[in-house]
Amino acid sequence: MKVLFATSEIAPWVKTGGLGDVAGALPGALRALGHDVRVLVPAYPALLESFPDAEEIARPHWLGGLLPTPGLREAVAPDGTPLLLLDYPPYFKRPGSPYLGPEGRDWLDNHLRFGLLARVAAWLGSEASTLAWTPDIIHCHDWQTGLAPAYLHYLPGQLAKSLFTVHNLAFQGLFDHASLFELGLPDASWHINGVEFYGYLSFLKAGLQLADAITTVSPTYSKEIQTDAEGMGMAGLLRHRAADLSGILNGIDTQVWNPATDPSLLHNYSARHLEHKALNKADLQRQLGLEQRPDLPLLAVVSRLTEQKGLDLLLDVAPQVLAMPAQIAVLGSGAARMEQAWRAMAHQYPTQCAVTIGFDEALAHRIEAAADIFVMPSRFEPCGLNQMYSLRYGTPPVVRATGGLADTVIDAADEKHGSGFVFGPATAEALLQALQRATSAWQDPKLWRRLQKHGMARDSSWEAAARHYAELYQSL
Ligand code: ADP
């Protein structure tokens, strides 16, 4: 199959979350299965710096509305995946986050920036394209490319089918009615069965409504978003499209996240030499200024500090957890109020609670290796990566039964397969009970070793996901 990925992020160059990881890894996994996958992504400064010799191979013009004529530059990622860099410096030659200006607010022309990305994706899948290569499938990701299925639907001469993958339903790409004209969409698209959403133009809704198929990044999340409680206003539409909606679990980069070779660790280890894990714990306790106590369970969090991640629940029960006794290490950044509350907790319990505010890849690796128990009490979680890292690092996770967490972690009650601890309600009491179960299991070395081994044996590679996507492309 010939597949064009259209994405606003791609690791390792531009990444704000799981979407960047998927766009960085999945094309390579699909290519390994023999599919011809290429990636269309804006030519942000980080990409142009990495590929200074990328040659212009096309100039898509007459795109409609107020859309400009960009250049398309060709480069090849280190894993061999061809990249099509959408070059229009007035839109993309901007520092920092792909979405936010220096003030931390959305760029005012985001509808044009990502509308252009979607429009060029559709152009590449149409008779208008001047390239010799025409994709069979355009695989779109999140609201930023949600208009591509709309252009494919409303404009003539289209040759490709579309797949729309939802990484997070919370971001909906809402713009006012006037954008319709600026983006060159026909008046007929302003309709409840088109791109209109409660008086706004929603890029997300356009993708959900008009793509030939929809996926989310875990099977459970694909079910949850069809309920009014978790559908963020899209549940009715998603129920209507249930026959075209499925969930495919993300993989992880098993080379970057491998405790046997991880260069960030002072002591590498594997399932056969788990005793070395304790050395990492001692190192981390030293590094973070925690008391050197091998006999206390060390609980850890690496996360965005937002409402979604449920770390306010952990804050509520932290005094009881520390009194067990136990230690807590937190690495994260996000909402100012939550950062402040965690800092205060560390201040109150300096030998037992260590809080690092910021984004630190190496420390994230060291925490995964050093901790005894990983904590993810998310209110919702489309897939989640950290629980998969912690399974792989022999650090049984305590997770809420939601989205990808429910699909990857098996509760310890299952003696044959249990790899962690799963709880139901998003309440502090339910979390505390699960943490109590986890810390008392940790006191039983034989049981604990079994949980660790089950988690470490789980196959989290991208290959399984790639096979599922390939089947779906074929069906389209
Ligand atoms: P989300 O995409 O919702 O933030 P995921 O679990 O899917 O959550 O992915 C988060 C990614 O970002 C993981 O790779 C995680 O390790 C990383 N991460 C999050 N916060 C930090 C941080 N403060 N420092 C280092 N890595 C972080």
CA 252 to chain centre: 10
Question: What is the pLDDT at residue 103?
Answer: 86
Does 15 sit in the ligand 1 pocket, CB within 6 Å?
A: no
18-32 and 462-475 helices, crossing angle to 10°: 80
Tell me 420's DSSP state: B
**With b meaning 16 or more CB within 10 Å and e meaning fewer, what string describes 174-183?**
bbeeebbebb
The domain at 2-251+463-475 falls in which architecture?
3-Layer(aba) Sandwich (3.40)
Q: What atom in ligand 1 is closest to the CA of residue 331? A: 23
Decide: 473 and 137 in contact? Cβ < 8 Å: yes
Q: Which ranges constitute the DSSP H helices of 4-109?
A: 18-32, 45-50, 89-92
The domain at 271-457 falls in which architecture?
3-Layer(aba) Sandwich (3.40)
Does 333 sit in the ligand 1 pocket, CB within 6 Å?
A: yes
Q: In what order do the strands lie in the sheet with 200-202?
A: 174-175, 200-202, 196-197
Nearest to 151 by CA among 316, 363, 304, 6: 6
CA dihedral in degrees (127, 132, 136, 137; nearest 10)? -90
Question: What is the pLDDT at residue 431?
Answer: 98
428-442 and 311-322 helices, crossing angle to 10°: 50
Residue nearest to atom 15 of ligand 1 (CA): 386
Q: Which of 22, 386, 407 to mutate to test the pocket of ligand 1 (most atoms within 8 A of CB)?
A: 386
The answer for residues whose C-beta is within 8 angstroms of residue 220's C-beta and 6 or more apart is 247, 402, 403, 404, 406, 407
Residue nearest to atom 8 of ligand 1 (CA): 384
| Rg of the chain over all Cα atoms, to the nearest angstrom | 23
DSSP string of 327-378?
Answer: EEEEEEEE-HHHHHHHHHHHHHSTTTEEEEES--HHHHHHHHHH-SEEEE--
Q: In this structure, what are the phi and psi dihedrals at residue 149, rounded to the nearest 5 degrees? A: -60, -30
Q: Report the DSSP beta bridge partners of residue 164.
A: 140, 214
365 C-alpha to ligand 1 centroid (Å): 11
332 C-alpha to ligand 1 centroid (Å): 8
**Where are the chain's structural domains?**
2-251+463-475, 271-457
Give the tokens for residue 451. 């949980």
- Any idea what the Cα angle at residue 26 is, between residues 231 and 366, rounded to 5°? 90
Does 134 sit in the ligand 1 pocket, CB within 6 Å?
A: no
Residue 261 three-state SS: coil
Does 306 sit in the ligand 1 pocket, CB within 6 Å?
A: no
Query: Could you count the other beta carbons within 10 Å of the beta carbon of residue 17?
Result: 16
Question: What is the pLDDT at residue 464?
Answer: 93
Q: In this structure, what are the phi and psi dihedrals at residue 90, rounded to the nearest 5 degrees? A: -60, -25
387 C-alpha to ligand 1 centroid (Å): 10
Residue nearest to atom 12 of ligand 1 (CA): 17
Give the tokens for residue 55. 């040659």
Residue in the block written with tokens 């960030």: 264
Residue nearest to atom 16 of ligand 1 (CA): 386
Along the 476 residues of the chain, how does pLDDT read in single tens digits? 999 999 999 999 998 888 999 999 999 999 999 999 999 999 999 999 999 999 999 999 999 999 999 999 999 999 999 999 999 999 999 988 999 998 889 999 999 999 999 999 999 999 999 999 999 999 999 999 999 999 999 999 999 999 999 999 999 999 999 999 999 999 999 999 999 999 999 999 999 999 999 999 999 999 999 999 999 999 999 999 999 999 999 999 898 899 999 999 999 999 999 999 999 999 999 999 999 999 999 999 999 998 899 999 999 999 999 999 999 999 999 999 999 999 999 999 999 999 999 989 999 999 999 999 999 999 999 999 999 999 999 999 999 999 999 999 999 999 999 999 999 999 999 999 999 999 999 999 999 999 999 999 999 999 999 999 999 999 99
302 C-alpha to ligand 1 centroid (Å): 7
Nearest to 273 by CA among 369, 376, 410: 369
Residue in the block written with tokens 């990328």: 54
CA distances (Å), 86 to each of 23, 133, 146, 179, in order? 15, 16, 17, 21
Q: In this structure, what are the phi and psi dihedrals at residue 404, rounded to the nearest 5 degrees? A: -65, -20
Q: What atom in ligand 1 is closest to the CA of residue 167? A: 2
Distance CA 390, CA 373 (A): 8
8 C-alpha to ligand 1 centroid (Å): 17
Does 249 sit in the ligand 1 pocket, CB within 6 Å?
A: no
Does 56 sit in the ligand 1 pocket, CB within 6 Å?
A: no
359 C-alpha to ligand 1 centroid (Å): 9
Distance CA 19, CA 33 (A): 21
Q: Do domains 2-251+463-475 and 271-457 have the same CATH topology?
A: yes
Tell me 124's DSSP state: H
Q: What atom in ligand 1 is closest to the CA of residue 303? A: 20
Question: What is the pLDDT at residue 18?
Answer: 85
Does 373 sit in the ligand 1 pocket, CB within 6 Å?
A: no
Question: What is the pLDDT at residue 96?
Answer: 85
